[in-house]
């Protein structure tokens, strides 16, 4: 099993660029298309921990779903935020790459950010 996981949205250009960057460097990551397979709240909290940020820092605040589902109401409760994000996963920043061996992660914006954890 690959030690690199990418939480990927194939419709996102940055996500595609990050996946290509990994592959161009000889890495075949485990690809999780999170829009097809939404993540559990505990998984979201683990991802934020591995990236080294609060879960609230992994939100796409300009996404329409962010405003439509009142994310502002749960920003101070990581558990409630994780639950809401799990239900409205489109708000999750993308792509996110996790090195499962070192338990480190990075957001691929820009894609070169992920090279720090390889």
Known catalytic residues are 12
Measure CA 9 to chain center. Answer: 10
Among 99, 94, 95, which Cα is nearest to 118's?
99
Helix, strand, coil percent values for the chain (each to nearest 5): 45, 15, 40
């Amino acid at each position: 099993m690959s030690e690199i996981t990418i939480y990927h949205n194939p419709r996102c250009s940055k996500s595609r660029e990050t996946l290509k960057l990994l592959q161009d460097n000889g890495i075949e990551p485990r690809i999780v298309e999170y829009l097809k397979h939404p993540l559990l709240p505990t998984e979201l909290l683990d991802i934020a921990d591995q990236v080294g940020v609060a879960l609230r820092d992994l939100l796409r605040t300009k996404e329409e779903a962010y405003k439509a589902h009142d994310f502002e109401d749960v920003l101070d409760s990581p558990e409630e935020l994780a639950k809401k994000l799990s239900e409205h996963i489109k708000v999750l920043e993308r792509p996110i790459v996790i090195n499962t061996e070192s338990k480190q992660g990075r957001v691929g914006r820009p894609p070169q950010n992920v090279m720090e954890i390889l």
